Amino acid sequence: MPRTTVGIIGAGPAGLLLSHLLHRQGIDSTVLERRSRDHVEHRQRAGILEQGTVDVLRASGAAARMDRQGLEHHGIELRFDRRSHRIDFPSRAGGRSVMVYAQTEVVKDLIALRRQDGGTVLFEAEALSVDGARTEHPSIRYRHQGAEHTLDCAYVVACDGFHGIGRRSVPEGGLTVVERDYPFSWLGILADVPPSCEELIYAHHERGFALHSMRSPRVSRLYLQVDPEDTTGDWPDERIWGELETRLAIDGDWTLRRGPITEKSITPMRSFVSEPMRHGRLFLAGDAAHIVPPTGAKGLNLAVADVTLLAQALTRHQAHGDESGLDAYSETALRRVWRAEHFSYTMTTLLHADPAETAFDRALRLSQLRYLASSAAASASLAENYVGFTED
C-alpha cells in the first residue's frame, strides 16, 4: 500500500505549491489530480499576484520565469462617468505592487519543479474518498489507471476546489457554510491583441461592469458583466467588442484595440466560506474552503496564503512536535479569508450594475466612486487591500 507523509488532493497552484514547499523542508508528499497534465497546464484562471504571493514564489525558488515574463503593476485605473482615475499602489500601500502572471504559468512552473525534484504527482488519479481523518493515519482512496488504490498518510490536504471530494468528506454537521450568489456573471475573453492599457482598468457603466486586463504584452484578457442566464452563444465577437468600447469609453484620447478572440467563457459570481478549515488530520485549502468573486483578484492569492501557512505548521510539527500551528491553522487562515471576502464583495457591489437597484443605490455608488478617486485615505484602503492586506 503506498504511503506518504502528506497526501494532497488537487494539482492546482495550491496543491503543487504546498508539495514544493514541503519538499524544501524534507517532507514527502503525493499529489493526486483527477485531470490530465495537459488539462491542468492549460486551464485559464486569474493572473494577478499579490506582493505576498510574489514573495513566496521567489523565496521558494519558483519565480525565475515569472521574474522574466511577468508584468509588474504599480496601480489600477478606475473609470466611471467617462473619466479615468488612477490608484497608485506604492505611494498608498507601503511601496508594494502586484504582478500580472497567469495562473496557468504558475502551474506550469510548479509542475516543472516537482518533476525536477522527483516529486510524486499523479495525473488522472481521481480521489474517491478521504477516510479516517480523525485517526493518526488517514487515507485517500483513489482510482488511477483503471484500478483503485489507497494512499496512507499522516495528513491529508484538500486543494481540490469547490466541487472536490475533500470538503465533502467531512461528516454532516462538521462544517458551517455561508455563501452569497450575485445577480450577474462575467463573460471573459482572451484576445490575440496587445493590451490597450498599461495597467488594469476597472470600469463602472450603467450597462454593467467591464475589466481590461492582460496576459502578456501580446495577449489581452477582458471581462464583461452579463446576465446569469447568458451563454457564450449570446455574445458574438462584434457584440463583445462593441460593449467593451461602450463601457470602457472616456472623454479623452484612448482607443480599445480589437483582435481575434481565442477563448470565451462565462463565470457565475459567488462568495462562499466553509468553516472550520480543518477536520482532524484533513485540512482544506483554497477553493475547497472558500470562494471570492474575481473582482478583487483574491482567489489564487488566498490559496497561496493558505498553503504557505499550512507548510509552516506542518514543518514545525514534523521538526519539533509542535502542533500549535496546525491547531491555529483554521482560525489564522480565516482571518485573512474574511478580509478578502469583504474586499471582493465591496469591489463587486461597487462596480457592477445591480438589476434590482434603485436610483438611491446608484447615487450612493457614484458617491463612493468619487470618494475613492478624490480621497487619499479611501484610495489607500483600496490599494492596501488590493496588493494584499496582512495583520502582521
The pLDDT, as a whole number, for residue 106 is 96
pLDDT tens digits, residue range 157-209? 999 999 999 999 999 999 999 999 999 999 999 999 999 999 999 999 999 99
pLDDT tens digits, residue range 349-390? 999 999 899 999 999 999 999 999 999 999 999 999 999 987
Average pLDDT over residues 247-254: 95
**Residue 110: partners with Cβ closer than 8 Å, 6 or more residues away:** 13, 16, 17, 20, 62
Residue whose grid cell is 491542468: 40
Domains and CATH numbers, the chain: 6-46+102-178+271-347 (3.50.50.60)
Average pLDDT over residues 288-295: 96
The pLDDT, as a whole number, for residue 383 is 97
Cell of 13: 497552484
CB neighbours of residue 360 within 10 Å: 8
Q: Catalytic positions, please?
A: 73, 202, 294, 298, 386
Percentage of the chain beyond pLDDT 70 is: 99
pLDDT tens digits, residue range 132-155? 999 999 999 999 999 999 999 999
Average pLDDT over residues 226-234: 97
pTM: 0.95
pLDDT tens digits, residue range 42-100? 887 768 999 999 999 999 999 999 999 999 999 999 999 999 999 999 999 999 999 99
E strands, 93-209, where? 98-100, 120-123, 125-131, 139-144, 147-152, 155-158, 176-191, 201-203
Answer whether residue 227 shows pLDDT above 90.
yes
pLDDT tens digits, residue range 347-360? 999 999 998 999 99
The pLDDT, as a whole number, for residue 42 is 87
